[in-house]
Chain A
C-alpha cells in the first residue's frame, strides 16, 4: 500500500497548492473542500478514524459551507481574478521553513508514545475508545476549556451584527423555493441526521465517534434545514437557544465541581465514570450542535439576502 500512500500525499499537496495559489476564490474553496476529504483518507490510513470523522465533517464540511457562504456574501464575481503572481521573498522564506520541518519529520523516530500509559488506565476511565477516554476523562480539562472557546467565538461574532439586528435569527435571510427540491431534502434529512448524530455520540464510547462528531452531524442538518427554509434560524432572542448554548459547558463544569468530593476537579470515580461521561457528552453534543450551527450561519443580517 506504500504506492497508494505516496499517491495520496502527492494528491493532497497538489490540491492544497490549487487552493492557495490557483485562480478564483470560489475555486479555491472547492479545492479546499476536496483537500479536507483527501486529508481524512490520510487519517484513515494512519489508523485514526476518530480524526478522519472530525476532519471530513468539520474541516471539509462545515468549514466548506462557511467559506462558500462567505464567497456568496462577498458577492463579487472573481471568476476572472487572475492567479496571483508568486511572491518570491515569501516563497524563499517558506521554502526554508519547509526544509527545516521536513528535516525534523524525517529525523524524529516515532516511539511508543503515551499509548501504553493510556491502555494501562483505560479500564478505569469508563469508556473503551482511548480517544474518547482522553477527551472526556484523562484530559477533560482541555475539552471543558475547548467547549468554552466555542462559545467565546460566538460571543466574538455576534457584535458584528448591525444595529439592532443582533436579536434576530442568525445569518442572512434565506430564500429557498417553497416546495422545491431543497426544501424537500431539508424535510427528509433531519430524522436520519438525528439518528446518525445520536448513534455517533453513543458509539463514541467504544468505537470511533463522540460528542464532537455527533454534534457536527446535527449542526450540519440544522444548517441545511435553515437554508431550505424548513425552520427559522436560531436567534439570541429565545432563552431556549441561549440555554442550549451553555448547557454542555455548564453540565461539564458541574460534574467537575462534584469531582472535588472524590479527590479533585474533574475527577470521576471509576464506578460512576461511564454515567458521568455519557451525561456530559449528551449535554455537550447539544451545545456543540447549536454553537457550530451559529458559527456557520454567522451573525444576523436581517436586511441582507444570500
Chain B
C-alpha cells in the first residue's frame, strides 16, 4: 500500500541521516535499525496487492529482522567494550 511504502522510503532516509550525523554510537545503532525497518516496510508494502501480502517478502523480512538483531547485539557489544577501554562513547574523528 502506497502510504506505507512512502513511509518506508522516508524512514530509510531518516535512518541514513542518523547513521551519518549521529554522534553517540548507540544513537547510530538505533538509526541503523530505523533504516533497516524502513527497507522492510517498503519491501512489504510494495508486495501488498489487493488485500493480500506476498509471502516471499514476508519471509525475507522475518529473516531480516532476526539478522538485524544479531548485528545490533554485536554492535552494542563493541560500543560497550570501547567505552570500557577508552571511556568514550563516540569515535575519535567525530569529537576532535
Total A-B contacts with CB atoms under 8 angstroms apart = 250
For B81, the chain A residues whose CB sits under 8 A away are 160
Within 8 A of A (CB), among B1-60: 1-18, 20-24, 26-27, 29-31, 33-34, 37, 40-42, 44-49, 51-60
Q: How far does the alpha carbon of A47 sit from the alpha carbon of B71 in the complex, in Å?
A: 27
Q: How far does the alpha carbon of A223 sit from the alpha carbon of B21 in the complex, in Å?
A: 33
Contact B57 A105 (CB under 8 A): no
Q: How far does the alpha carbon of A46 sit from the alpha carbon of B68 in the complex, in Å?
A: 21
Q: How far does the alpha carbon of A111 sit from the alpha carbon of B50 in the complex, in Å?
A: 9
Contact A5 B3 (CB under 8 A): yes
Chain A 105-139, CB-CB to B under 8 Å as 1, else 0, gives 11010111111001000000000001101110001
Q: How far does the alpha carbon of A111 sit from the alpha carbon of B70 in the complex, in Å?
A: 32
Q: How far does the alpha carbon of A39 sit from the alpha carbon of B73 in the complex, in Å?
A: 21
Indicate whether A90 sits within 8 Å of B11 (C-beta atoms), given known contacts A20-B22, A149-B70. Answer: no
Contact B51 A114 (CB under 8 A): no
For A48, the chain B residues whose CB sits under 8 A away are 44, 48, 53, 58, 61
Q: Closest A-chain residue to B13, C-beta based? A: A98
Contact B21 A62 (CB under 8 A): no
Q: How far does the alpha carbon of A295 sit from the alpha carbon of B61 in the complex, in Å?
A: 20
Query: Min CB distance, B18 to chain A, in Å?
Result: 4
Contact A20 B7 (CB under 8 A): no
Indicate whether A67 sits within 8 Å of B29 (C-beta atoms), given known contacts A48-B53, A135-B59. Answer: yes
| CB < 8 Å neighbour of A16 from B11, B42, B65 | B11
Contact A97 B13 (CB under 8 A): yes
Query: Min CB distance, B26 to chain A, in Å?
Result: 6
Chain A 135-177, CB-CB to B under 8 Å as 1, else 0, gives 1000100110010011011001100101000000000000000
Contact A20 B83 (CB under 8 A): no
Interface centre among A35, A43, A48, A291 (most CB of B within 10 A): A48
Contact A134 B22 (CB under 8 A): no
Stretch among A24-32, A191-199, A232-240, A254-262 lining the B interface: A24-32
Q: Closest A-chain residue to B71, C-beta based? A: A153
How large, as a class, is the contact surface on chain B? 35 or more
Query: Min CB distance, A223 to chain B, in Å?
Result: 12
Q: How far does the alpha carbon of A85 sit from the alpha carbon of B30 in the complex, in Å?
A: 18
| CB < 8 Å neighbour of B7 from A2, A13, A50 | A13
Contact B3 A112 (CB under 8 A): no
For A112, the chain B residues whose CB sits under 8 A away are 49, 54
Query: Min CB distance, B95 to chain A, in Å?
Result: 13
Tell me whether B78 is interfacial, beta carbon within 8 Å. Answer: yes
Indicate whether A295 sits within 8 Å of B70 (C-beta atoms), given known contacts A25-B27, A51-B44, A118-B55. Answer: yes
For B27, the chain A residues whose CB sits under 8 A away are 20, 25, 28
Query: Min CB distance, B55 to chain A, in Å?
Result: 4
Contact B54 A114 (CB under 8 A): yes
Q: How far does the alpha carbon of A47 sit from the alpha carbon of B47 in the complex, in Å?
A: 11
For A5, the chain B residues whose CB sits under 8 A away are 1, 3-4
Q: List 5 A-B contacts (CB under 8 A).
A: A28-B26, A102-B6, A112-B49, A115-B49, A139-B59
Which 6 A-B pairs give the minimum distances between C-beta atoms? A98-B13, A101-B9, A113-B54, A153-B70, A295-B73, A20-B18
Known: A97-B13, A105-B6. 17 other contacts (CB 8 A): A5-B1, A32-B30, A43-B44, A46-B1, A54-B61, A55-B65, A63-B72, A69-B76, A74-B26, A97-B12, A102-B6, A105-B9, A110-B47, A113-B49, A113-B57, A150-B66, A298-B80
Binding site for A on B (CB under 8 A): 1-18, 20-24, 26-27, 29-31, 33-34, 37, 40-42, 44-49, 51-63, 65-74, 76-81, 83-84, 89
